[in-house]
Amino acid sequence: MQPQMAYDRAITVFSPNGRLFQVEYAREAVKRGTTTVALKFIDGVALIVDKRVVSRLVEPDSIEKIFCIDTHIGCATSGLVADARALVDRARMDAQINNITYEEKIHVKTLVKKICDFKQSYTQFGGVRPFGTSLLIGGVDDLGCHLFATDPSGAMIGYKATAEGAGRTAAMEFFEKEYKDDLSMNEAILLGIKALYVSTDKKLEAKAVEIGVVNKDKKFRKLTVDEAKGYVKKVIKK
């Protein structure tokens, strides 16, 4: 145990087998977060989050896990929400700088690269720590529909369907079996809720589900509480 502690003291120190322990611990923070799923449908992307309301005294509306970055881009978070808010603020600023400079909406992949470059810088310098959150970023631009997952290390991967958080393994296994390329928006939302339902051991509550969608009209929006409940009740028939 003692040798490992020497490599825990600074983010800039590699262990002899090439590991950065602080980055790995940041990934563990993501795994302890609530389950978040995202999937592409025929002309857009759906983001769905289990907000996990742990007490009846908590106002569900006060827990925000899905954010609008620009009119054509949204993201869902898993891990430390405060870290996610800082990254979302940075992403919004990058999107508006591009809009003012070039008079056009930023491409989704370009924005994701900027955010990942920023996250990677926090694994390279002393006196900082990695961001303990993963963002699932979905959007539509003139190149098509895009869904990316970002890692605390600054890595990015494009997906057709993916998940983060405590139930990631179960959700990914479900998507491997059930996902299809030609889903409609309604089918994608219902499939995503089913994945959440499976990954939470069938303990999903309608009031705890937050849903965001963006499609070819390039307008991202979060569904209302009643709309979200309507979709959940189609999956959880009690």
Structure confidence by residue, pLDDT tens digits, 205-225: 888 899 999 998 878 999 999
Confidence of residue 7 (pLDDT cuts 50, 70, 90): low
What is the band of 40 on the pLDDT scale with cuts at 50, 70, 90?
A: very high
Q: Decide if 14 is inside a domain.
A: no
Candidate list 34, 123, 133, 200, residue with the active-site label:
34
Write the pLDDT tens digit of every residue in 165-203: 999 999 999 999 999 999 999 999 999 999 999 998 888
59-77 pLDDT per residue, tens: 878 889 999 999 999 999 9
Is the residue at 90 inside a domain? Answer: yes
pTM: 0.93
* Residue 19 falls inside a structural domain: no
Q: Which domain holds residue 208?
A: 35-235
Kindly state whether residue 1 falls inside one of the protein's structural domains: no
Domain count, the chain: 1
Structure tokens at 237: 């028939």
**Alpha carbon distance 192, 148 (integer Å):** 16
Domain-embedded: residue 119: yes
- In this structure, is residue 190 part of a structural domain? yes
What CA–CA distance (Å, rounded) separates 76 from 132?
14
35 an active-site residue?
no
> Under a CB-based contact definition with an 8 Å cutoff, are residues 50 and 66 in contact?
no
Say which CATH number the domain at 170 has: 3.60.20.10
**What backbone phi and psi angles, to 5 degrees, belong to 76?**
-120, 150
Domain assignment present for 104: yes
